[in-house]
Amino acid sequence: MVDHEFGGQHTELKLSIVEGYLQAFTTALRPHFKHLWYIDAFAGTGSRTVRTESKGATLVEAPAAEIVEHRRGSARIAIDVRPRFDFLVFIEKNANYIAALNDLAAHNLQRSIVVAKEDANTALQRLVGTNRWDDKRAVVFLDPYGMEVEWATLEALASTEAIDVWFLFPLAGLFRQATRRLTDIDESKRAALTRMFGSSAWEEELYPVEDADLLGAIPERRRDLDPRGLEAYVQKRLSTIFGKVLKPLALPVHRGPQMFSLFLCISNKTPKATALAMRIGNHLLDPKRHLIKSSATK
């Protein structure tokens, strides 16, 4: 078993939301489509190692040994979804993780699974370009560690009008890269932001040029948007290419600072398809559900 430790408490929630959607997706679309695909572009190993540290004895508690659990990761969850996906693609660039994914596929030989050791952007853009999309529907899960997803990849996915994209957007990463003062953005940050947003328009939009003051001094260009403002900016950008982009869920849910925004982007533009995906997605992403749940379990 290859250990893959990642994320925090929000990871469990993220995976349960995506699982809920996958279940609803295959249930709703099974009668209408022969080809339902699941594409995991940052697939990991198929499992998630969760370690609970050992605890020494206290006056009221006995000592507890370290607990190591192996929970299901997104690839494994997608295999378990019923009704089934017809075809599953797991993309991952780490060789050790690929070995674990190959094991997972070998334990599910009756399923149609492709494991690809590749860069997610390259693989997704090729996958979109080399398949027809009028006869299938798919869910793509983008679950990167950081700002790896390129705009060109999102454009390719949106162009299919057949793919729903769950995207864990790294809001804290964006907040770090898009520093308060424009002059603090070096060439590598500038290139990363342009790759992520697809053009250099972010410079004007996030760092507006202000008029000179009464003495003729031009104010320094600064980003005034806070994390929520940046999230709204990302949603607006995504909405320029997808049919619908739902209001994302801020993660973690019950404590700051916000690290991620969990987006559902629907590439289909027909009212019937977007209405169904929005009904399910809005229900799953409703922060009130998760806040109530987490306080009820405390």
Binding residues vs ligand SAM (CB under 6 A): 6, 15, 42-44, 48, 73-74, 91-94, 97, 119-120, 143-145, 148
Give 264's strand partners. Answer: 166
CB 217 to ligand SAM: min, Å: 44
Q: For residues 122 and 133, give the distance between their C-alpha atoms in angstroms, rounded to a whole number.
A: 18
CB 97 to ligand SAM: min, Å: 5
Sequence-distant (≥ 6) Cβ neighbours of residue 89 within 8 angstroms? 37, 38, 39, 40, 113, 114, 116, 127
Instruction: Return the number of the residue (115 or 234) whose C-beta is nearest ligand SAM.
Output: 115
CB 198 to ligand SAM: min, Å: 17
Instruction: Return the number of the residue (90 or 207) whose C-beta is nearest ligand SAM.
Output: 90
Instruction: Return the number of the residue (141 or 242) whose C-beta is nearest ligand SAM.
Output: 141
The single-letter DSSP state of residue 49 is E
CB 23 to ligand SAM: min, Å: 16
CB 295 to ligand SAM: min, Å: 26
Nearest-CA neighbor of 251 among 7, 58, 54, 53? 7
Instruction: Return the number of the residue (94 or 102) whose C-beta is nearest ligand SAM.
Output: 94
CB 1 to ligand SAM: min, Å: 13
Instruction: Return the number of the residue (38 or 197) whose C-beta is nearest ligand SAM.
Output: 38
Determine how β-strand 249-251 pairs with β-strand 244-245: unpaired
Instruction: Return the number of the residue (73 or 243) whose C-beta is nearest ligand SAM.
Output: 73
CB 174 to ligand SAM: min, Å: 17
Q: Dihedral through CA 202, CA 204, CA 206, CA 208, nearest 10? A: 180
Give kind and range of the element (H or E) at residue 18. helix 9-29
The Cβ of residue 24 has, within 10 Å, a number of other Cβ atoms equal to 18
Residue 93 in tokens: 């660039």
CB 161 to ligand SAM: min, Å: 24
Which residue in the shown chain puts its C-beta closest to ligand SAM?
73
Sequence-distant (≥ 6) Cβ neighbours of residue 186 within 8 angstroms? none
Q: Are 52 and 66 in contact (CB under 8 A)?
A: yes
Determine how β-strand 163-169 pairs with β-strand 260-266: antiparallel
Q: For residues 48 and 9, give the distance between their C-alpha atoms in angstroms, rounded to a whole number.
A: 12
Instruction: Return the number of the residue (25 or 42) whose C-beta is nearest ligand SAM.
Output: 42
Instruction: Return the number of the residue (72 or 222) whose C-beta is nearest ligand SAM.
Output: 72
Give kind and range of the element (H or E) at residue 48. strand 47-52
Give 76's strand partners. Answer: none
